[in-house]
Amino acid sequence: MSSPRIEVLIPHDEIQKRIAELGKQINADYGGRPLVLVGVLKGSFMFLADLVRHINAQVRIEFIGTKSYEGTTTSGQVQLTKDLDKPIQDEDVLLVEDIIDTGLTLNYLKHMLSQREPRSVKVAAFLDKPSRRRIDVKGDYVGFTIEDKFVIGYGLDFEQRYRNLKDLCILVP
Protein backbone atom coordinates (compact mmCIF):
# COMPACT_ATOMS: atom_id res chain seq x y z
CA MET A 1 0.00 0.00 0.00
CA SER A 2 1.50 3.40 -0.99
CA SER A 3 1.39 6.30 1.47
CA PRO A 4 -0.81 9.32 0.66
CA ARG A 5 0.66 12.25 -1.24
CA ILE A 6 0.48 15.72 0.30
CA GLU A 7 -0.48 18.61 -1.99
CA VAL A 8 -0.33 22.28 -1.07
CA LEU A 9 -3.69 24.03 -1.30
CA ILE A 10 -2.76 27.42 0.22
CA PRO A 11 0.92 28.26 0.68
CA HIS A 12 2.27 29.76 3.88
CA ASP A 13 2.98 33.21 2.36
CA GLU A 14 -0.56 33.59 1.13
CA ILE A 15 -1.85 32.55 4.56
CA GLN A 16 0.31 35.20 6.24
CA LYS A 17 -0.87 37.94 3.88
CA ARG A 18 -4.50 37.12 4.53
CA ILE A 19 -3.99 36.99 8.30
CA ALA A 20 -2.44 40.45 8.25
CA GLU A 21 -5.59 41.70 6.49
CA LEU A 22 -7.81 40.05 9.09
CA GLY A 23 -5.75 41.66 11.85
CA LYS A 24 -6.26 45.10 10.29
CA GLN A 25 -9.98 44.55 10.07
CA ILE A 26 -10.16 43.40 13.69
CA ASN A 27 -8.13 46.39 14.90
CA ALA A 28 -10.42 48.77 13.03
CA ASP A 29 -13.60 47.13 14.35
CA TYR A 30 -12.62 46.99 18.02
CA GLY A 31 -10.86 50.37 18.04
CA GLY A 32 -8.19 49.25 20.50
CA ARG A 33 -10.62 47.87 23.10
CA PRO A 34 -9.27 44.94 25.18
CA LEU A 35 -10.13 41.53 23.75
CA VAL A 36 -10.31 37.96 24.98
CA LEU A 37 -9.18 35.59 22.25
CA VAL A 38 -10.58 32.10 22.80
CA GLY A 39 -8.73 29.53 20.72
CA VAL A 40 -10.62 26.34 20.00
CA LEU A 41 -8.22 23.45 20.58
CA LYS A 42 -6.41 22.00 18.97
CA GLY A 43 -6.70 23.07 15.34
CA SER A 44 -6.63 26.85 15.88
CA PHE A 45 -3.30 27.08 17.69
CA MET A 46 -1.22 28.16 14.68
CA PHE A 47 -3.82 30.57 13.31
CA LEU A 48 -4.25 32.14 16.74
CA ALA A 49 -0.50 32.53 17.19
CA ASP A 50 -0.16 34.34 13.85
CA LEU A 51 -3.35 36.41 14.16
CA VAL A 52 -2.62 37.71 17.66
CA ARG A 53 0.65 39.25 16.44
CA HIS A 54 -1.40 41.62 14.27
CA ILE A 55 -3.77 42.78 17.01
CA ASN A 56 -2.98 46.17 18.53
CA ALA A 57 -4.90 45.92 21.79
CA GLN A 58 -4.60 44.41 25.22
CA VAL A 59 -5.44 40.74 24.73
CA ARG A 60 -6.06 37.83 27.04
CA ILE A 61 -5.58 34.38 25.58
CA GLU A 62 -7.86 31.53 26.59
CA PHE A 63 -8.33 28.08 25.15
CA ILE A 64 -11.38 25.91 25.00
CA GLY A 65 -11.44 22.28 23.91
CA THR A 66 -14.07 20.42 21.94
CA LYS A 67 -14.26 17.07 20.28
CA SER A 68 -16.55 15.98 17.48
CA TYR A 69 -14.48 14.14 14.93
CA GLU A 70 -13.42 10.53 14.45
CA GLY A 71 -11.10 10.24 11.41
CA THR A 72 -12.52 12.32 8.55
CA THR A 73 -16.18 12.15 9.55
CA THR A 74 -18.03 14.15 12.16
CA SER A 75 -19.85 12.24 14.88
CA GLY A 76 -22.45 15.03 14.97
CA GLN A 77 -21.97 15.46 18.72
CA VAL A 78 -19.89 18.20 20.29
CA GLN A 79 -18.24 17.52 23.63
CA LEU A 80 -16.38 20.02 25.81
CA THR A 81 -12.94 18.65 26.68
CA LYS A 82 -11.51 21.82 28.23
CA ASP A 83 -13.24 24.91 29.63
CA LEU A 84 -11.95 28.49 29.94
CA ASP A 85 -9.75 29.31 32.93
CA LYS A 86 -11.49 32.59 33.81
CA PRO A 87 -14.92 34.24 33.43
CA ILE A 88 -15.67 36.36 30.35
CA GLN A 89 -18.49 38.48 31.76
CA ASP A 90 -18.54 41.99 30.20
CA GLU A 91 -15.58 41.14 27.96
CA ASP A 92 -15.33 41.34 24.15
CA VAL A 93 -14.71 37.76 23.11
CA LEU A 94 -13.25 36.65 19.80
CA LEU A 95 -13.61 32.91 19.25
CA VAL A 96 -10.76 31.65 17.09
CA GLU A 97 -11.56 28.55 15.04
CA ASP A 98 -9.53 26.55 12.53
CA ILE A 99 -12.46 25.74 10.24
CA ILE A 100 -16.23 26.07 10.12
CA ASP A 101 -17.38 22.81 8.59
CA THR A 102 -20.84 21.54 9.63
CA GLY A 103 -21.07 24.51 12.01
CA LEU A 104 -21.99 22.27 14.96
CA THR A 105 -18.93 23.19 17.04
CA LEU A 106 -19.29 26.92 16.49
CA ASN A 107 -23.01 26.89 17.17
CA TYR A 108 -22.45 25.00 20.41
CA LEU A 109 -19.63 27.29 21.56
CA LYS A 110 -21.37 30.55 20.65
CA HIS A 111 -24.43 29.54 22.67
CA MET A 112 -22.38 28.30 25.59
CA LEU A 113 -20.22 31.43 25.79
CA SER A 114 -23.16 33.81 25.29
CA GLN A 115 -24.75 32.42 28.46
CA ARG A 116 -21.74 33.77 30.40
CA GLU A 117 -22.82 37.34 29.59
CA PRO A 118 -19.83 38.63 27.62
CA ARG A 119 -20.08 42.11 26.14
CA SER A 120 -19.85 40.55 22.66
CA VAL A 121 -18.93 37.28 20.94
CA LYS A 122 -17.51 37.27 17.44
CA VAL A 123 -15.80 34.58 15.41
CA ALA A 124 -12.51 34.51 13.53
CA ALA A 125 -12.18 31.37 11.43
CA PHE A 126 -9.13 30.48 9.39
CA LEU A 127 -11.25 28.46 6.94
CA ASP A 128 -14.86 28.13 5.92
CA LYS A 129 -16.36 25.13 4.10
CA PRO A 130 -19.92 26.43 3.49
CA SER A 131 -20.99 23.44 1.34
CA ARG A 132 -20.90 21.19 4.43
CA ARG A 133 -22.97 23.40 6.70
CA ARG A 134 -25.67 21.70 8.82
CA ILE A 135 -26.40 24.72 11.02
CA ASP A 136 -26.55 28.30 9.78
CA VAL A 137 -23.61 29.96 11.54
CA LYS A 138 -21.15 32.42 10.07
CA GLY A 139 -17.69 33.67 10.88
CA ASP A 140 -17.22 37.42 11.31
CA TYR A 141 -13.60 37.24 10.07
CA VAL A 142 -12.87 34.40 7.63
CA GLY A 143 -9.44 33.70 6.17
CA PHE A 144 -10.34 31.53 3.19
CA THR A 145 -13.48 29.88 1.85
CA ILE A 146 -12.65 26.41 0.50
CA GLU A 147 -14.38 23.58 -1.37
CA ASP A 148 -15.45 20.36 0.26
CA LYS A 149 -12.00 18.82 0.64
CA PHE A 150 -10.46 17.38 3.79
CA VAL A 151 -7.54 19.68 4.60
CA ILE A 152 -4.50 19.24 6.82
CA GLY A 153 -1.61 21.37 7.99
CA TYR A 154 -1.35 24.84 9.51
CA GLY A 155 -2.83 23.39 12.72
CA LEU A 156 -5.33 21.01 11.16
CA ASP A 157 -4.90 17.27 11.55
CA PHE A 158 -5.82 13.90 10.19
CA GLU A 159 -5.85 11.53 13.17
CA GLN A 160 -3.62 13.95 15.11
CA ARG A 161 -0.94 14.10 12.41
CA TYR A 162 0.20 16.85 10.02
CA ARG A 163 -0.64 19.82 12.30
CA ASN A 164 2.93 21.08 11.95
CA LEU A 165 2.85 21.63 8.16
CA LYS A 166 3.35 25.33 7.43
CA ASP A 167 1.09 25.30 4.35
CA LEU A 168 -2.56 24.29 4.18
CA CYS A 169 -2.56 20.97 2.33
CA ILE A 170 -4.77 18.14 1.13
CA LEU A 171 -4.10 14.43 1.37
CA VAL A 172 -4.30 12.64 -1.97
CA PRO A 173 -4.79 8.90 -1.43
State the Cα–Cα distance between residues 88 and 68, nearest whole angstrom.
24
Which residue of 102, 110, 144, 163 would you call a contact of ligand IMP, by CB under 6 A? Answer: 102
Considering the complex, state which of residue 23 and residue 103 has its C-beta at the smaller distance from ligand IMP: 103
Contacts to ligand IMP from residues 42-71, by CB under 6 A: 43, 68-69
Closest by CA to 83, choosing from 43, 124, 38, 126, is 38
State the Cα–Cα distance between residues 123 and 98, nearest whole angstrom.
11
Set 98, 101, 128, 157: catalytic member: 101
Q: Indicate whether 41 belongs to the interface with ligand IMP (CB under 6 A).
A: no
Report the nearest approach of ligand IMP to the CB of residue 79 (Å): 11
DSSP per-residue codes, 100-113? ESSSHHHHHHHHHH
Respond yes or no: is residue 101 known to be catalytic.
Answer: yes
Phi, psi of 170 (to 5 degrees): -125, 150
Which residue of 39, 103, 139, 153 would you call a contact of ligand IMP, by CB under 6 A? Answer: 103
Positions marked catalytic? 101
